[in-house]
Amino acid sequence: MAEGMKNVVLIGFMGTGKTSVGRLLAGRLGCAFHDLDKKIEEQHGMSIPAMFAEHGEPYFRAREKEAVRAAAERTNLVIATGGGTVKDPENVALLRQNGVIVALTADVDTILRRTAARGARPVLDHADAGDRRAAVVRLLEERRALYEDADITVDTSGRSPLEVAEYIVQATRIWRK
Q: Is 143 annotated as a binding residue?
A: yes
Q: Is 160 annotated as a binding residue?
A: no
Q: Is 144 annotated as a binding residue?
A: no
The whole-angstrom separation of Cα 57 and Cα 74 is 26
Q: Is 16 annotated as a binding residue?
A: yes
- Neighbouring C-alpha atoms within 13 Å toward the C-beta of 171: 18
35: which residues sit within 8 A by CB, 6+ positions away? 19, 22, 80
Within 61-131, strands assigned E span: 77-80, 99-105
The whole-angstrom separation of Cα 132 and Cα 153 is 24
Q: Is 19 annotated as a binding residue?
A: yes
Within the chain, strands assigned E span: 7-12, 32-35, 77-80, 99-105, 152-155
Q: Is 115 annotated as a binding residue?
A: no
Task: Give the chain's length.
Answer: 177
Q: Is 15 annotated as a binding residue?
A: yes
Q: Is 173 annotated as a binding residue?
A: no
Q: Is 159 annotated as a binding residue?
A: yes
Enumerate the known binding-site residues for ATP. Answer: 15-20, 121, 159
Enumerate the known binding-site residues. Answer: 15-20, 37, 61, 83, 121, 143, 159
Enumerate the known binding-site residues for substrate. Answer: 37, 61, 83, 143
Enumerate the known binding-site residues for Mg(2+). Answer: 19
